[in-house]
Chain A
Amino acid sequence: MQDKHRFFEQLVSAYSKDLYRYAYWLCKQSTVAEDLVQETFTRAWKAIDNLKDEKAAKAWLITILRRENARMYEKYQPQLLELEASIVADDYHNEPDEKFEKQQLHQAIMALPIEYKEPLILQIMWGYSGEEIAIQLDLKLATVNTRLFRARQQLKVLLTATTSKKSQYNTSFDRGQTK
């Protein structure tokens, strides 16, 4: 590599945002996600001379991030999901439908088990093929396909459940208004 500083800057420019998003969906906390990305790039910088193939940088960074997340997860497990879900639930009758749906989808992705969430993120956000996901996550292609299928199925189920909850809420709210 001619200029490793410049190459590092290019890596940060190209991948820091998506790595942050990946980290956020893994750890569910924005401050922890930023720490994870910082640590990922710190480790990447220290080992940048070992990166022989620049094309492999993307997968390499994801691998570092996942390892860091696993390391951090061993230390503590943030439990913010229920709190965030309750905030959304309290507010949803005031939200426009589109915003409500986006928030519900956000919460549904949050609630998705990590084994389903990761392949889905790699496919939708990073544009990975099934084979590439299998290599990245060290899984068989059939397993990846099953998980992608179940991820979408579960999201639909979670969304259907919250949408029907909203419609029940609106119906009872409307009844209360007309009394």
Chain B
Amino acid sequence: MNDLAFRKQLQINPHQLDEKTLAYLEQYPEQKKVVKRVRNFDAQIKEALNIEVPEGLHARILLNQSYQDAKANSSMDESNDNVGLKHKGSAGKVIHFWNAEPTVSWTGLSAMAASLMIVAVSITLWQAPAELKQLNGSDMVAHILDHIAEDPTLMTEIKRPTTEADVQALFATVGASLNQPIERMSYAGECLVEGQKGLHIVIQDEQGPVTVIVMPGQQIKAMQSFAASGYHGELLPVKGGVVAIVANSMEQVALAQMRFFKAVRFA
């Protein structure tokens, strides 16, 4: 190997040196500085290639996949059941009331989340029973945050019904059923929010625990996002009640929302 071949080999891959190159380096140890220089240049290229990725990309991909899934399932349902079309039409109005987050990226995510809700959960507020009580959204948020603060140990406690029948029974108390286990659920139990019996769930996420509270008998007009007391969250209208999801970031909320509604159906 001569100097030209050595330098060419380095430019092809400075990190994988073949036997000939190694032998050349042994013969001319002063050339190691050339190897070092080319490797440094590669490190610079690697750093330049490593551009910043938009925040929430991961969550948006998963929500999109859930949406596509739900849309496909919905199409199948619609072909068999005309009532499904009615639900979809009425739920579509909900989007107009959606309180979008101020950032552009989350607007898209939120819209997707809204679509997911529309299709997967079949929101039917207009069909809600007359006895459901209309609550102010901000009051509801305050109550939920107070409730979470009451017992912070629930965030880390692992306590949930052990059998599938017990889990189903628990969810049935709020008019819901599970078609599959909720991923990463560490806690599930009954709770009281301002005297109202509900369901309290904690989902463990890489960025920390996420609290989900189902409040039957409550009602809001549309999905609402909020940020308060260092938490981010959403209030989601479902048939016969409201689901609140509270976490440290909107990305966590979006992922938890996906995991929750992938598994839970409201009758």
Residues of chain A having any CB pair with chain B under 8 Å: 5-6, 8-9, 12-13, 16-17, 20-21, 24-25, 30, 34, 37-38, 41-42, 45-46, 101-102, 105-106, 109, 120-121, 123-125, 129-130, 145, 148-149, 152-153, 155-156
Contact = CB atoms under 8 A, between A and B. Distances in A.
14 contacts: A9-B62, A12-B65, A16-B57, A20-B53, A21-B50, A41-B64, A45-B68, A102-B47, A105-B45, A124-B42, A124-B45, A124-B49, A125-B49, A148-B12
A145 B44 contact: no
B61 interface: yes
The main secondary structure of chain B at its interface with chain A is helix
Nearest to B69: A45
A24 B51 contact: yes
A34 B68 CA distance: 17
Contact of B12 (A6, A17, A121, A145): A145
Contacts of A45: 65, 68-69
B31 interface: no
Interface of B: 8, 11-13, 16, 38, 41-42, 44-51, 53-54, 57-58, 60-62, 64-65, 68-69, 183, 262
Contact of A109 (B41, B45, B54): B45
A123 to B, nearest CB: 7
Contacts of A6: 183
Q: Is the interface of A mostly helix, strand, loop or mixed?
A: helix
A42 B65 contact: yes
Given A105-B48, A109-B48, A149-B11, A156 B41 contact: yes
A125 B46 contact: yes
B57 A17 contact: yes
Nearest to B44: A105
B44 A42 contact: no
B68 A155 contact: no
Given A37-B57, A130-B12, 10 more contacts: A12-B58, A20-B57, A21-B50, A42-B65, A45-B68, A106-B51, A109-B48, A148-B13, A149-B8, A152-B42
Contact of B54 (A8, A13, A34, A42): A34
Contacts of B46: 124-125
B41 A152 contact: yes
Contacts of A152: 11, 38, 41-42, 45
Contacts of A30: 54
